[in-house]
Every structure is written in structure tokens, then in C-alpha cells.
Chain A
């Protein structure tokens, strides 16, 4: 199938680390993306990883990719209240359309 799956909800305390998980289906995907959506806004591209990488770090964000299990995770270190949002993972279809297939999103709530 085409599903990209994510857990629906995550709650963490301010200052802790958050880990948002995602599984995807297309083993030929070359790029995998993480987007952030704040209330009432569009999607903001946070980071992405190329499929020949295992890990990518960008300031407080760490992306881990397990190609064998088709598992992607986003770790946010020192989570802040401003990180509260919905996080979407997405894979790019490597057929002629190059469509993005999005997960349903994980709502992250950061408690003070």
C-alpha cells in the first residue's frame, strides 16, 4: 500500500527530548522529509534525509533512518513550548509523478 504511518499524539515536558516515529512503504524512496505545522498555518519544511544516509543532525533536530525496517524518526532535543505543533513525515514517490506521500501527522504537546 501507499501508507505512511505515524502515531497520532505525543506529550512531553519542556526540556525533555521528543522522538516522533514514522514508517514508510516505498523502498525506492530517495528522500524522506519532516514538516511542521503550527495552528492555522501551512507546512514548514524542517529537515530531510537522503536514503543513503543513516542519520542527519541539524541543531536540535536529529533524523534517524533505518532502511531495512523502513523506519524514520525525528528527535527534538531540549523541547520547548514553541515546538508544540503537528509533525508530518513524507516520502517522495519515485515514479513519474514524484508525489509526496504524507503521514497523518503527530500532534506534539509540550507541557511547561
Chain B
């Protein structure tokens, strides 16, 4: 079974902090994705990556950056957290043109 592991289920941070969300997959997938999910807005793609050190902006990249130094790990970085970044963050991985497999999500609260 594909396993996508997000480092935290719940996280509370303060405005202005630099926040790191980590995601690891164990299936040697080339593609990795970060989404946020908000009530009434569905899933929105923040960033994705096709390969190590490659990154592409999704639909809402502002205020975020990513890092993919190793194939199995994709990190989402909130450079200076703001209250409007309080959300559920979901990581996914896939083979090229394959179905995406999701982690359990990180519920992030910015106070």
C-alpha cells in the first residue's frame, strides 16, 4: 500500500513565524503535491513537484514556498505565517499520470 506521511496532524503557530510542513512518501513516486482545503472552497493546489529540485506553482502559491531535496520528501514552507493561512493542508504523491495518494492532513492554526 502507498503510504504518504505528514509529520503533524495538528499544529498551532503564531503570526509571523516560519512554519514547515513535512511530507514523506514511500512508493518512489515522481510527483508530489500540496493542497489546502477550506470549507466552501474545496481543495486548492498550492505547489507541486515532478522531480527532485523541481517545483511548479499551483493555483494559490502566494505566501508559500516548497523544497524537494530528496525524491521521497516534499516540504511546504510558510515564510511568515498569517491568520488567513489557518487551514487543513493535504500532501499527495503519484506516478506520472497516475492517481494521487493522500496523507492524513495537517490541521494548522495560526494565532
Are A and B co-members of a single complex? yes
Judge if A59 is at the interface, Cβ distance under 8 Å: no
Q: Which B residue's beta carbon lies closest to that of A102?
A: B43
Judge if A19 is at the interface, Cβ distance under 8 Å: no
Q: Which of B13-21, B69-77, B78-86, B101-109 contacts A (4 or more CB under 8 A)?
A: B101-109
A-B residue pair count with CB separations less than 8 angstroms: 42
Contact B42 A103 (CB under 8 A): yes
Contact among B97, B101, B102, B105 with A98 in the assembled complex (CB-CB below 8 Å): B97
Contact A92 B97 (CB under 8 A): yes
Judge if A56 is at the interface, Cβ distance under 8 Å: no
Chain B interface, number of residues (Cβ within 8 angstroms): 21
Given A41-B104, A45-B100, A45-B101, 16 further pairs, Cβ under 8 A: A33-B99, A35-B102, A42-B4, A42-B105, A43-B90, A45-B99, A48-B99, A88-B43, A92-B97, A97-B48, A98-B31, A98-B96, A98-B97, A99-B45, A100-B100, A103-B42
Q: List 18 A-B contacts (CB under 8 A).
A: A30-B97, A40-B107, A41-B105, A42-B4, A42-B90, A42-B105, A43-B43, A44-B102, A45-B99, A45-B100, A45-B101, A45-B102, A92-B97, A97-B48, A97-B56, A98-B96, A98-B97, A99-B48
Contact among A31, A43, A105 with B102 in the assembled complex (CB-CB below 8 Å): A43
